[in-house]
Chains A and B, each alone.
Chain A
Amino acid sequence: MSLLIYAESEQGKIKKMAYEVASYASSIAKQMGTDVTAVTINAENPETLGQYGVNKVLNVKDSNLNTFNEESYVSVIAKAADESGANILVVSQSANAKYLAPGLSIELEAGYASNVVALPQTEDGFTVKRNVFTNKAFGIAEINTNNKIIGLSNNAYGLHENPVTAEIVDFSPEFENSGIEVESVDKNTDKVSIADAEVVVSAGRGLKGPENWEMVEDLADVLGAATACSKPVSDMGWRPHGEHVGQTGKPVASNLYIAIGISGAIQHLAGINASKTKVVINTDEEAPFFKAADYGIVGDAFEVVPQLIEKLKEFKAANA
């Protein structure tokens, strides 16, 4: 019995969430007295996975895999599972991993549990704790198949160093060519995505109009944060849909979530609840967000946010 992780990379660099998946898998491996193998696709720094307990890397290099596609990637990762002999596969819950994992579960005849937030328990069957009802509850689910896939929620386990030397092995499996053509990719590479962000700055109707978003962007710049918005704001077309966070939008599990002029509808709060520290800035002290937040300022965003930007700049300069 051993574990395989799919360690995602972006432009050749292993992503932070891959190190989190490695940390999680190496902790399971320790419990079970086994090893962790990783499969990487066109990564330039696979050896760094050793820092988080990965013993061996199946390093796939193929220019046909430069752009992500579900069909070929499923095929490659399934071959890596065969090669490593692993029966537990751990993936992140990035958009690409969520796209891949269901297909992999059919390919590997594995039970797949998504949105997992804690280490598995093995005393009474193999069970995992999952986020359900958009963070309003947890469910304990049993995976009763021999092969298992765990989708680890972003930021649920954290990074835990466990340095070992990772053996890097070239791996060139045959794979299916995708029947889906990627026509174009429109990705803002100088801005951090909501899924990858440590800090998310989010704003709502309290900002009164799309022309007032400059201060939100400025605050996000100072913090190296991703920008997000509430549902009404995206429905009115003030901001793109990709920024809508909440139950029907994107989930957020950042370290810090700052909500500006967002009242805190139940659907919004559910979507951002997995964030560690929540700050609310709102003129209405009765806004439901104050019940969900750790820190709150009752005040006008147009006065508070510019001050916050200035003070944060001073703080960053002093702590640089």
Chain B
Amino acid sequence: MKILVCISHVPDTTSKINFTDNDSAFDTNGVQFIINPNDEFGLTRAMWFKEKQGASVDIVTVGEKDVEPTMRKCLAIGADKAIRVDAKPNDAFQVAKELADVAKNGDYNLIIAGRESIDYNGGMVPGMLAKLIGAHFINTCVSLEIDGDNATAVREIDGGKETLSCKLPLVIGGQKGLVEEKDLRIPNMRGIMMARKKPLEVKTPISDETKVSFKTFSKPAPKGEVKLISADNIDELINLLHNEAKAI
């Protein structure tokens, strides 16, 4: 099995969010970048397939040179090869198109992406990628088993879960559940040493067409003070929720 894991390079979840260049770009000053958590669950599941069932695991990122440390971390976790498409990711369609080109050329039968990246939260790339390469697509995937050419997956739906099956090739939009938090791997010294020698290919983008692009950013207005209510005065809380907030 040939697996491609799509990796997004995102600010750590605790990052302060600020904007620069007249609020037109995210301010990366002092921000630590990590593997997008939804992608990391997928990468870890891919490692499981590699070790238990035999598979090659390549990773791909669309980004400029600054994403390479995040890619090296994926190699240190155990991916075999990394491909960086040398473009600034501006738009989900642009990214999906580049990934589709890598996926087609590499003849992958399983493509694991994250449900969404935790920065722009678009949740658009995996589904677009699947349609562009004519593969099946399963979103919000919380469990995945592969048996030969057959995939069985569990998808989270509003208020429950659904079990699906299909033939490969398949693209998933993965999330926690593919593996648990405790299964995530911290690269060890040997992995880090080996990662330095693993191939990291840089590919020229095929297109710069965008369909949707961000112009400016803003932050929500600061919130007012909390109203504290005494623990002995639950009636007051109900009164406020009913008459002031009109929430009940």
> Chain A contacts of B19 at CB under 8 A?
137
Complex CA distance for A132 and B214, rounded to whole angstroms:
11
Identify which of B132, B167, B218, B230 gathers the most chain A CB atoms within 10 Å of its CB: B218
Given A138-B218, A142-B215, A276-B247, the answer on whether A194 and B226 have CB atoms closer than 8 Å is no
Please name the residue on chain A nearest to B231 by beta carbon.
A299
B162 in contact with A184 (CB, 8 Å): yes
Main secondary structure of the interface of B (DSSP, over half): mixed
In the bound assembly, the distance between CA atoms of A144 and B209 in angstroms comes to: 11
Quick check: B118 and A134 within 8 Å, CB to CB?
A: yes
Is there contact, CB below 8 Å, between B121 and A132? Answer: yes
Tell me whether A195 and B159 are in contact in the complex, defined as CB-CB below 8 angstroms, given that A102-B131, A106-B132, A297-B228 are known contacts: yes
A233 vs B166: C-alpha distance when bound (angstroms): 33
Given A195-B159, A294-B226, are A132 and B216 neighbors across the interface (CB < 8 Å)? no
For B121, the chain A residues whose CB sits under 8 A away are: 114-115, 131-134
Q: Which of A101, A179, A276 contacts B167 (CB 8 A)?
A: A179
CB-contact partner of A195 in B152, B158, B231, B235, under 8 A:
B158
Q: A134-B121, A187-B157, A193-B159 are in contact. Are A248 and B127 (CB under 8 A)?
A: no
Verify B164–A180 contact, CB threshold 8 A.
yes
Q: A132-B119, A183-B164, A242-B156 are in contact. Are A140 and B217 (CB under 8 A)?
A: yes
Tell whether, in the assembled complex, residue B248 and residue A185 are in contact, meaning their CB atoms are under 8 Å apart: no
Contact of A241 with B247 at beta-carbon distance under 8 Å, contacts A144-B213, A185-B162 already known: no
Taking CB as reference atom, which chain A residue is nearest B161?
A186
Q: Report which residue of B14, B160, B211, B217 has the largest number of chain A beta carbons within 10 angstroms of its beta carbon.
A: B211
Query: Which of A135, A244, A277 contacts B176, CB < 8 Å?
Result: A244
Interface size class of A (residues with CB under 8 A): 35 or more
Are B219 and A136 in touch, CB under 8 angstroms?
yes
Q: How far is the CA of A319 from the CA of B239 in the complex (A)?
A: 12
Instruction: Check B166 against A179 for contact (C-beta < 8 Å).
Output: yes
With A138-B217, A186-B161, A296-B228 in contact, do A114 and B123 touch (Cβ < 8 Å)? yes
Contact, CB under 8 Å: A186 / B120: no
Interface residues of B in 215-238 (CB under 8 A from A): 215-220, 223-224, 226-231, 234-235, 237-238
Whether A113 contacts B212 in the complex (CB less than 8 A), given A103-B130, A256-B245, comes out as: yes
A95 and B212 in contact, given A181-B164, A184-B162, A267-B14 (Cβ under 8 angstroms): no
Tell whether B101 is near chain A: CB-to-CB under 8 Å.
no
A82 to B240, CA, bound (A): 49
Interface-located stretch among B58-66, B67-75, B138-146, B192-200: B138-146
- When distances are taken between beta carbons in the complex, the residues of chain A under 8 Å from B88 are none
A residues in contact with B104, CB < 8 Å: none
Q: Is residue A162 within 8 Å, beta carbon to beta carbon, of the partner chain?
A: no
Per the bound structure, the CA–CA distance linking A273 and B222 in Å amounts to 12
Contact, CB under 8 Å: B234 / A95: no
Cα A186 to Cα B14 in complex, Å, equals 34
Within 8 A of B (CB), among A172-201: 179-189, 191-196, 199
Q: A107: which B residues are within 8 A, CB to CB?
A: 131
Q: What does DSSP make chain A's interface, helix, strand, loop or mixed?
A: mixed
> What is the bound-complex CA distance between A14 and B152, given in angstroms?
30
Closest to A17 in B: B158
Q: Which of A143, A294, A299 contacts B227 (CB 8 A)?
A: A294
Chain A residue with minimal CB distance to B228? A296
Query: Chain B interface: which of A20-28, A34-42, A204-212, A307-315?
Result: A307-315
When distances are taken between beta carbons in the complex, the residues of chain A under 8 Å from B165 are 180-181, 183
A95 CB to closest chain B CB (Å) equals: 5
Complex alpha-carbon distance, A74 and B17, angstroms: 35
Q: Nearest-CB distance from B163 to chain A (Å)?
A: 4
Question: What per-residue 1/0 map shows which CB atoms of A219-252 lie under 8 Å from chain B?
Answer: 0000100000000000100000110100111000
The verdict on A191 contacting B124 (CB below 8 Å), with A142-B213, A241-B176 known, is no
Q: Is residue A105 contacting chain B, with contact meaning CB distance below 8 A?
A: yes
A223 pairs with B212, CB closer than 8 A: no
Distance between B167 CB and nearest chain A CB, rounded to angstroms = 7
Q: Is B159 in contact with A196, judged by CB distance below 8 angstroms?
A: yes
A293 proximal to B (CB < 8 A): yes
Question: Quick check: is B125 within 8 A (CB to CB) of the other chain?
Answer: yes
B163–A142 CB distance below 8 A: no
Q: Please, how many angstroms separate the alpha-carbon atoms of A135 and B158 in the complex?
A: 20
Residues B13 and A266 in contact, CB atoms below 8 Å apart: yes
Question: How many angstroms between the C-alpha atoms of A2 and B14 in the bound complex?
Answer: 42
CB of B137 within 8 A of chain A?
yes
Tell me, in angstroms, the Cα distance from A277 to B163 when the chains sit together: 35
Q: A164 CB to closest chain B CB, in angstroms? A: 28
Q: Whole-angstrom distance between the alpha carbons of A193 and B158 in the complex?
A: 6
A312 to B128, CA, bound (A): 46
Known: A114-B122, A133-B121, A141-B213. 6 other contacts (CB 8 A): A115-B121, A137-B220, A138-B218, A143-B212, A179-B166, A312-B238
The contact sample of 6 A-B pairs, CB cut-off 8 A, is A105-B124, A139-B217, A141-B212, A189-B159, A241-B142, A247-B13
